[in-house]
Amino acid sequence: MRVLDEGKGPLFMDPDPDKAREFFRSKSRAMVDKRMSVKEAVERFVTDGCYFATGGFGANRIPTAVCHELLRQGRRGLGFSGHTTTHDFQILCAGKVFDRLDAAYIVGLEARGLSPNARRYMQSGEVQVADWSNYALAARLRAAGEGVSYGLTRSMLGTDTFTRSAAKAVECPFTGKTLCAVPALWPDVAAIHVHYADKFGNAVYKGISVADHELSRAAKHLIITTERIVDEAVIRDDPSLTSIPFYMVDAVVEVPHGSYPGNMPYLYFSDEEHLAEWMRVERDPDELERFLDKYIYGVSTFEEYVELCGGAERIEQLRKIELVEQPATPAGQGA
Amino acid sequence: MRVLDEGKGPLFMDPDPDKAREFFRSKSRAMVDKRMSVKEAVERFVTDGCYFATGGFGANRIPTAVCHELLRQGRRGLGFSGHTTTHDFQILCAGKVFDRLDAAYIVGLEARGLSPNARRYMQSGEVQVADWSNYALAARLRAAGEGVSYGLTRSMLGTDTFTRSAAKAVECPFTGKTLCAVPALWPDVAAIHVHYADKFGNAVYKGISVADHELSRAAKHLIITTERIVDEAVIRDDPSLTSIPFYMVDAVVEVPHGSYPGNMPYLYFSDEEHLAEWMRVERDPDELERFLDKYIYGVSTFEEYVELCGGAERIEQLRKIELVEQPATPAGQGA
Amino acid sequence: MAADFNTMELMICVAARYLEDGKTVAVGTGAPCAAAMLAQKTGAPSLVVIFEAGGLAPQLPEMPISVGDSRTFYRAVMAAGMVDAMSTCERGQVDYAFLGGAQIDRFGNINSTCIGEYEKPKVRFPGSGGANDFASFCWNTMIMTVHSKTRFVEKCDFITTPGYLTGAGAREAAGLPEGGPYKIVTDLAVMGFDEKTKAMTIESLHPHVDVDKVQSETGFELLVSDELGCTELPTEEELRILRDEVDPLRLVIGRS
Amino acid sequence: MAADFNTMELMICVAARYLEDGKTVAVGTGAPCAAAMLAQKTGAPSLVVIFEAGGLAPQLPEMPISVGDSRTFYRAVMAAGMVDAMSTCERGQVDYAFLGGAQIDRFGNINSTCIGEYEKPKVRFPGSGGANDFASFCWNTMIMTVHSKTRFVEKCDFITTPGYLTGAGAREAAGLPEGGPYKIVTDLAVMGFDEKTKAMTIESLHPHVDVDKVQSETGFELLVSDELGCTELPTEEELRILRDEVDPLRLVIGRS
């Protein structure tokens, strides 16, 4: 069993499971009321220079309010990772919040095209990057959640993605075959948006889990934003539905429409017009500045932001699209 | 990165992921009607000498009908594994179905005591054994389901459990620390009992998953026994609930009360009187023989077995216990 | 007389025919998803579609905008997660995956990461996403792209996603499972890979296209199959389904 | 005057006091579960109980018969799985675990696998189950058992589950995480482990028991703590709760 090859990308976080254990040993498991505002949650748990991660999938079930708040509080020097990150990434780039990045999918918004500002930021040389595949990042989180120092995948091998990562090619002790070992990743803090949670942090999301099962077990601190807070009894009535147990969670923030302008399964579709507006204003840095002043820096709560974007009426339109009563047409496209 | 130590226990199954991939490449992914009788399922998928595994947890959500059918069809020479196996193990021992065993918890029935016959069989020298911990076995299945050749845990190290397993102690390529590497395990066939499934095999269980997520992704063939078969639309109406996707499944067998005398969450508690009867008759091999003739060899369907044990009336009593309307008293115990 | 169609429609119709019934395909948004949906409505009704974020076998009501949006698990058989979806690929149960990228070389290696110096790139693209995983795990990877010299290059600036790496035997040597590029469908031709050398090979030319034309739009020397064929045109029926049922809003086919 | 109680009641009441409020405990069926339930109803109302098969923080309506039966996730905060439950232990979030076994040695190593030759054992026991994992992962493992020479042995026939292995530094050398045996509660005494040597040490004697008595029932030489204490007896209140609320059917406390 030998190390056959290794990536030369930076390893931002220590994969030592005993250090993580020491942290988790001291993390409270008491079932206490963790409700607070997004402002307080970000103040308490996201410090300059810490390593941050978002749940969901780019513009689907994302913790938008936490991303906005990071800009408002002027956080800098963060580490960041995402399997597919799109609109969340775009927001963080607009605030130059991070300068170390474990990248798997960045700067793009999938079918919507590429973010001009995120590209500018990533092309500026200001960000230290390691590249990974989506699954490699998920495997890193999974290993962390399981309390071991590395995970395994058979991808990445033979490519520059491997070379620019901090993975290692190792020989399997049973078969002699080559596997890609990826170091465990315990983010300092993660934010995940869910459908409902109780005040202790027992949380439920519906639809695909993406890598949130893994992220929620790996993050040292976890901020839950939730469409609504429910009584503990709702959780205990059907524990088969629980996605995240309270002892992983540090903050529970009620944020209705909290994934907006992203999609929230069964509740509202992504606001393609607003996302297109983001892309448009990003072409001109000055215009982006004004846009951010209006929508992020100039408001103090997420509710205000949703109001600016059309409020309840717009949400109702997005609900109809989500329920397939109306088609989801990317703005500026279609016949 | 070195192999530091290795267990000397037998490794019954090849952990080569490319051989498993070749199998899965040829396994059909067509959504076809897989309904059949338990007799047919066992005839088609469980062959003498193959490696078999059960889902659930000993006497909770177990595929009793499949275990009985293995005895009726006289299967011999099987390999077998279970994280905690109790009543399922007891049944298979009564038929001497297996002679190779990956053991984690065997011969006992937890608070109910030890099975006299299972102990006789295990003390006979007829069974080749490797010992593991429960989590190590789950980690072996998880690695298999993920298509890699080994999994990692920090347990087993330093003990005779390690020595009698086929695990290896390896040096982490990132931290230099020692981890326990456990070889992937792809059982030839597994049986899992669920709450409901459609005819294609999309299956839903409620309550704890034990290691059935991992087992269902690792098994090359999978027999689902189900309390009831539902329309495909029931599955598609809420895909967040699905536990097992159809493409893992080979047979769908409707077996109401199929975990009996084991517990089925939300439906019926374990029949402690019948389980105590098993333990009692096992003290005398002749009596056990007569017992098996009556309850297993002498019946042709699982329904007949449930009838012999009290049928609908007994199930209704167990339902009340399950719903905590009556206490669950182990037979022969209590005030 | 042949139907009228644009090159996007042509590529989608051609790609769809390679998807066999009863198989599994991992798709992204856009053209690949359209090809999979078209296949389901034509020759491969029980083709199983898988999305990397967790959507398994949805009944897609329309084209998804994201591979993680609600459409990707609309009336799915399971709304799983990325680990479950990717594990299905890694253990060998996914037959096809569609990939895209900015550059592709003769061995089907793909660049979707950057142009220029890595640390301070001239152009930064999204990176692997799930592409590297799909190309490593799935049995056959497919690419749909327009054919141009800037895209079909002698050497990728960055190999994001493995094709056959440096040629025959290289995937095995690197430790990758069996698999690799299968078909590349462009606006000019369909290319496969030579069995012996794993180099890109023209297998079928689209109408009014000759080998020289394809070669002139390619930055490396292409092989030509001994059984070079002529691409079968989209049928009226395929086009009708594609236009009326798969992409009525022309989100994908309107882009051509 | 002290209340009347049997040794099982004594052990459960004593063990329960070691479980701090706001901590997590992994339990099995029987006495450990009774101790955890008693702790929840006395000094540790927010003690979190975890079962290896996946039950997280249930509101136990009565004693489970199996660590995987419905009671273990009755009105739980989550009905998870074994990997989730064990991972919670492995990443360091579980403070206590209760273990049992047929033999235990001076370093708290436990045998629950077999007596005699492994291949054809004189007696085969269940094996590890989740015990090896709990003892490897959890910060403090606890044992409740009757005290006898056949149980407290010089050398286990088989080390199923790690205590401190061969003594100080041995866990670390084997690669096990920090953790290990914490308290052993028997019908005679409470024992801990010497900080330096990790050898079993009498910390507290039950009423009417002296060191000689404990030593005479032990197959190896015990250390005696400099601060040897006398076990505090179960209070009337503890006994009332144990008998009326925790185990009204006397499933566990009736066994003594």
Domain CATH for D17: 3.40.1080.10
Q: Which residues in chain B have Cβ-Cβ distances shorter than 8 Å to A6?
A: 173
Question: Active site includes C52?
Answer: yes
Q: Are strands B128-131 and B150-153 parallel, antiparallel or unpaired?
A: unpaired
Strand order in the sheet with C48-50: C78-79, C55-56, C48-50, C24-26, C96-99, C140-144, C181-185, C189-193, C200-205, C223-230
- Report the SS3 class of residue C240: helix
Question: End-to-end CA distance of chain D, in Å?
Answer: 22
What are the E-state strand segments in A138-177? 150-153, 168-171
Q: Per-residue pLDDT tens for A33-43?
A: 999 999 999 99
Establish if B131 belongs to a structural domain: yes
Q: Residues B233-240: what's their mean pLDDT? A: 98
Q: Per-residue pLDDT tens for B146-168?
A: 999 999 999 999 999 999 999 99
Q: Per-residue pLDDT tens for A223-253?
A: 999 999 999 999 999 999 999 999 999 999 9
Check A217 against D87: CB less than 8 A apart. yes
Closest Cα in chain C to A107: C126
Q: Per-residue pLDDT tens for A258-286?
A: 999 999 999 999 999 999 999 999 999 99
The confidence score (pLDDT) of residue B330 equals 60
State whether residue A147 sits within 8 Å of chain D by CB: yes
Candidate list C52, C203, C217, C238, residue with the active-site label: C52
Q: Per-residue pLDDT tens for D129-165?
A: 999 999 999 999 999 999 999 999 999 999 999 999 9
Closest Cα in chain D to A144: D91
Q: Is the per-residue pLDDT at B145 higher than 70?
A: yes
pLDDT band at B186 (very low <50, low <70, confident <90, very high): very high
Of C63, D2, B217, B257, the C-alpha closest to A272 is C63
Q: Which residues in chain A have Cβ-Cβ distances shorter than 8 Å to B16?
A: 175, 177
Interchain contact D/C (3 or more Cβ pairs less than 8 Å): no
Q: Is the per-residue pLDDT at D69 higher than 70?
A: yes
Domain CATH for B300: 3.40.1080.10
Write down which chains contact chain B via at least 3 CB pairs under 8 A.
A, C, D
Establish if A5 belongs to a structural domain: no
Establish if A85 belongs to a structural domain: yes
Check A213 against C161: CB less than 8 A apart. no
The confidence score (pLDDT) of residue D122 equals 95
pLDDT band at A333 (very low <50, low <70, confident <90, very high): very low
CA Rg value for chain B: 20
Q: Indicate the residue of A15, A175, A207 with minimum beta-carbon distance to B174.
A: A15
Establish if A137 belongs to a structural domain: yes
Establish if A154 belongs to a structural domain: no
State whether residue B138 sits within 8 Å of chain D by CB: yes
Q: Per-residue pLDDT tens for A60-118?
A: 999 999 999 999 999 999 999 977 899 999 999 999 999 999 999 999 999 999 999 99
> Which element (helix H / strand E) includes C144?
strand C140-144
The confidence score (pLDDT) of residue B327 equals 82
Establish if B234 belongs to a structural domain: yes
Write down which chains contact chain D via at least 3 CB pairs under 8 A.
A, B
The confidence score (pLDDT) of residue D134 equals 98
Q: Which residues in chain B have Cβ-Cβ distances shorter than 8 Å to C21?
A: 30
Establish if D193 belongs to a structural domain: yes
Q: What is the residue range of C17's domain?
A: 7-246
Q: What is the residue range of B75's domain?
A: 48-148+185-323
> How many CB atoms lie under 10 A from the CB of residue C194?
15
Q: Copy the structure tokens of residue D219.
A: 């197959």
Check C128 against A329: CB less than 8 A apart. no
Q: Per-residue pLDDT tens for B85-136?
A: 999 999 999 999 999 999 999 999 999 999 999 999 999 999 999 999 999 9
Establish if B313 belongs to a structural domain: yes
Give the HSE-up count for residue B61: Cα atoms under 13 Å, Cβ half-sphere.
27
DSSP string, B81-128: EESS-SHHHHHHHHTT-EEEEEESS-SB-GGG-B-HHHHHHHTTT-SE
Q: Which residues in chain D have Cβ-Cβ distances shorter than 8 Å to A200?
A: 77
Check A173 against B170: CB less than 8 A apart. yes
**Which mean pLDDT values do the consecutive 10-residue runs of chain C (256 residues) have?**
81 97 94 96 96 97 94 98 98 96 97 94 96 98 97 98 98 98 98 98 96 98 97 96 94 80
- Distant-in-sequence, close-in-space partners of A31: CB < 8 Å, separation ≥ 6: A200, A246, D46, D48, D57
Check A17 against B146: CB less than 8 A apart. no
To the nearest whole angstrom, how far is the Cα of C230 from the nearest Cα of chain A? 31
Question: End-to-end CA distance of chain C, in Å?
Answer: 22
Check B239 against C22: CB less than 8 A apart. no
In angstroms, the CA A178 to CA A173 distance is 10
> In angstroms, how far is CA B257 from the centroid of its own chain?
16
To the nearest whole angstrom, how far is the Cα of A34 from the nearest Cα of chain D? 15
Tell me how many domains chain B contains: 1
Q: Indicate the residue of D70, D79, D175 with minimum beta-carbon distance to B179.
A: D175
Closest Cα in chain A to B181: A173
> How high is the ipTM of this complex?
0.97
- Distant-in-sequence, close-in-space partners of B222: CB < 8 Å, separation ≥ 6: B189, B190, B191, B192, B201, B216, B244, B248, B249, B250, B251
> In angstroms, how far is CA C154 from the centroid of its own chain?
20
What are the E-state strand segments in chain B? 3-6, 51-54, 78-82, 98-103, 128-131, 150-153, 168-171, 178-183, 189-197, 203-204, 221-229, 251-254
DSSP secondary-structure letter at C4? P
Establish if D254 belongs to a structural domain: no
In angstroms, the CA C161 to CA B100 distance is 42
> Which element (helix H / strand E) includes D143?
strand D140-144
Establish if A82 belongs to a structural domain: yes
DSSP string, D8-23: HHHHHHHHHHTS-TT-
Closest Cα in chain D to A23: D92
Check C80 against B242: CB less than 8 A apart. yes
> How many CB atoms lie under 10 A from the CB of residue C106?
26
Tell me how many domains chain D contains: 1
A vs B: CB pairs below 8 A: 88
> How many CB atoms lie under 10 A from the CB of residue A59?
30
The confidence score (pLDDT) of residue D123 equals 96
Candidate list D9, D20, D52, D117, residue with the active-site label: D52
Q: Copy the structure tokens of residue A306.
A: 């949703």
Establish if C251 belongs to a structural domain: no
The confidence score (pLDDT) of residue A273 equals 97
Establish if D128 belongs to a structural domain: yes
State whether residue B199 sits within 8 Å of chain C by CB: no
Residue type, A334: G
Q: Per-residue pLDDT tens for D31-51?
A: 999 999 999 999 999 999 999
Q: Which alpha helices (DSSP H) does chain D contain, by range?
A: 7-17, 31-41, 82-90, 131-137, 170-174, 211-216, 236-240
Cβ(C120)–Cβ(A124) below 8 Å: yes
Give the HSE-up count for residue D61: Cα atoms under 13 Å, Cβ half-sphere.
16
Check C91 against B239: CB less than 8 A apart. no
Q: Indicate the length of chain D as a whole number.
A: 256
DSSP string, D31-81: HHHHHHHHHHHTT-TTPEEE-TTSEES---SS--SSTTSGGGGTT-SEE-B
Cβ(A191)–Cβ(A55) below 8 Å: yes
Q: Is the per-residue pLDDT at A334 higher than 70?
A: no
Check C175 against A211: CB less than 8 A apart. no
pLDDT band at D235 (very low <50, low <70, confident <90, very high): very high
DSSP secondary-structure letter at A331? T
Establish if C252 belongs to a structural domain: no
Cβ(B1)–Cβ(A3) below 8 Å: yes
Q: Is the per-residue pLDDT at D193 higher than 90?
A: yes
Interchain contact B/A (3 or more Cβ pairs less than 8 Å): yes
Q: Is the per-residue pLDDT at D213 higher than 90?
A: yes
To the nearest whole angstrom, how far is the Cα of C75 from the nearest Cα of chain B? 4
Write down which chains contact chain C via at least 3 CB pairs under 8 A.
A, B
Establish if C110 belongs to a structural domain: yes
Check B22 against C92: CB less than 8 A apart. yes
Check D75 against A239: CB less than 8 A apart. yes
The confidence score (pLDDT) of residue B331 equals 54
